[in-house]
Structure 1
């Protein structure tokens, strides 16, 4: 695992490697894995696309032939590091993201792009069941948060026949553990966590609480999708890796339950135009299934066209 950690922090240099060609078996394996993974059409956030990974690192070390230990570290951490040099001339200057890159969507854009605004404070079951897989929504109003620890506590309370500390009926829950606010921040970075960790709790939560929708990151498992269909409670995804930018759409935040859990406490956020994508609709359609399939078709068609010279 130490070797894998060291490899993860190496510079992203796949384009240079492909340009010069491999000079070792490890480098040849890097290129092979990079090309074959991207040929899967999984894409960023699992939504389909030409780029699933930006680089693949391979590091080896002598070991007993009977052991063959393997350690894997996923990409997300590799995209969150930077390199700086402390040379004694003063503090390091880290440039924050340019907030002008955050989309400014006006009424005219909503008509031309198909993006729709959602008022969470007036949400109805009828509205949520009209959302369709792949649609972009801008959420405004009050939503609750909760991740692993909070879900475990809520399910334990339900099983014990005890009331929950917060009413979830008609609410949207966001799978997030926000970073503590500093200075004049309303809340710290508040990016979505991987939703599959909530899959074991999903059936009980949807059956017993009256939730209207869930927001998280990445795909849901088959059992969770069955619960989404059964209880007509759609699942949306926020943009993974954009925790700081997402926090700019949060205008107020307060802890409403389980304060002792720290960042895993249940918060109530008031958001304005928080962008999300419909990932699993109430009919069970999943963008994490349809997206890669569509891109594999496009990539195969492009490959055939190149081979016949079209």
Structure 2
């Protein structure tokens, strides 16, 4: 039996080499690590033993798809020592390997299958070959599409025979290096694109127009204190919103010639515009001043009351909308 186990691993490797080709599903690997013997039923007749040793092996695998592969190989599981001899196990694995891809280069996997093991008990000078169940878990990291490394644990259940030479559970934990013949690159893990943030809807603010009508005495272009007070909200609007403009329009009643009244209306508009510009720092480019003379009355010029209403200067800042 010992010679069979020495020959089969070589045969497995040769088989893998024969089938190697570009982009084929075959791979081969080697592993090494530690072993621990547990539940040494009937192995060394109740005596204490050194249950820890080293182990290792070689294996070949075939990927059927991205998540399932079949692996077979030779594994040496070391020896539980007692005195100058002990209970030594080696054999052949055949397992299914189930893989979950975590990222482009990192996998986790589980293995489940059988182990044809040769248990050689040197203490009682007996050996036995039997079939035992085995299972494992591990992590696999791909350095590139051809080479990967594994960290794994594998459990072997009741290797040997109860009456002779005895049986034991065996734990293997170690590292593997795997070569993949032309293996396809790992399937990229595509993260879902985040939902685009909705464009903010600008808030539209409506700014109301501000204005005033300043009365003037007959044949006068002088500002009164009341006129100045009426101009305050208009001027503040200009200061608060630097893109706004001030419109100033002067008017007269119908007494006097058209030419004189036109000149008087322009003078009244200029006085108001000059006051706003000088006292509130408003650039003259933002002020439009003009006179309309007696041409746009708002009341009948035949009465004193009507004529007083017509002697005026209209000032206003137009309303507008803005976003914020």
- TM-score (ref. length: structure 2): 0.20
Of structures 1 and 2, the one scoring higher in RCO (CA 8 A, sep 6+) is 1
Structure number having the greater strand percentage:
2
User: Which has the greater radius of gyration?
Assistant: 2
Structure number having the greater helix percentage:
1
